[in-house]
Amino acid sequence: MQIIKKRKVIAFLLIGIALLAFLWLASIPTLQAANEQADDLVVTVDPDSKSVTQIFNLTIKDKNPNDSKVIVPLNGNFTFIDSLEGGSTVTKDEAKQQLIIDWPEGGEKKAVLKFKATTYGTYTLRAYTIRDTQMVTSAPVEINYEAEAQADSKEAVDAKTEKAAEKKNNANGN
């Protein structure tokens, strides 16, 4: 009788452990397939390399007729100023640090967003949307912002040096 009770207790313990293990494994999020890059969601930037005091435009074009919105993740390295063209509605989600672009029904899916860099460096931007519960991203674009002194072209530096030399010569009476 003692052996039967022990076997029942062991069996219940094993069943309980197996059930807990199953529940634990079921609660672990499964890895989705890698995010897909879509050719019909395009992001371009103009200009692609400037100083931090200048403004750049980010253009988003979405050629998929089923997309109703696109999201552009932001970071603290640039500030969204305004939406310049397109019939889209742009909303800034402060909590998630992203812009949400709602496309107009039946209209062109193009938005031009105006930004200003706040710190210099190289940044990668992309847009994404959800299609059939799968995240689809645009190809990334890279923006290079240099410190003001580095952003001057060689010609501008040479012109400044030449003007300084002329002033010095004029001051010396030459």
User: What gap in Å lies between CA 174 and CA 166, rounded to an integer?
Assistant: 9
The residue written with tokens 């009770």 in the block is 5
- By three-state DSSP, how is residue 98 classified? strand
The answer, yes or no, to whether residue 105 has pLDDT greater than 80, is: yes
The answer, yes or no, to whether residue 45 has pLDDT greater than 90, is: no
User: In percent, how much of the chain has pLDDT > 90?
Assistant: 24
Taking the CA atoms of residue 80, residue 82, residue 88 and residue 92 in that order, the dihedral angle to the nearest 10 degrees is: 40
User: What gap in Å lies between CA 81 and CA 44, rounded to an integer?
Assistant: 17
Query: Minimal CA–CA distance to 101: which of 134, 68, 77?
Result: 68
Sheet holding 55-62, edge to edge: 41-46, 55-62, 110-117, 78-85
The residue written with tokens 């207790």 in the block is 9
For residue 26 the two structure tokens come to 């079921």
Cβ(145)–Cβ(50) below 8 Å: yes
For residue 87 the two structure tokens come to 């019939």
User: What gap in Å lies between CA 98 and CA 116, rounded to an integer?
Assistant: 15
Q: Of the given ranges (19-28, 64-73, 143-152, 160-169), which has the lowest mean pLDDT?
A: 160-169
pLDDT digits (tens, 9 = 90+) for 123-167: 888 999 998 888 999 999 888 877 655 444 545 555 555 655 565
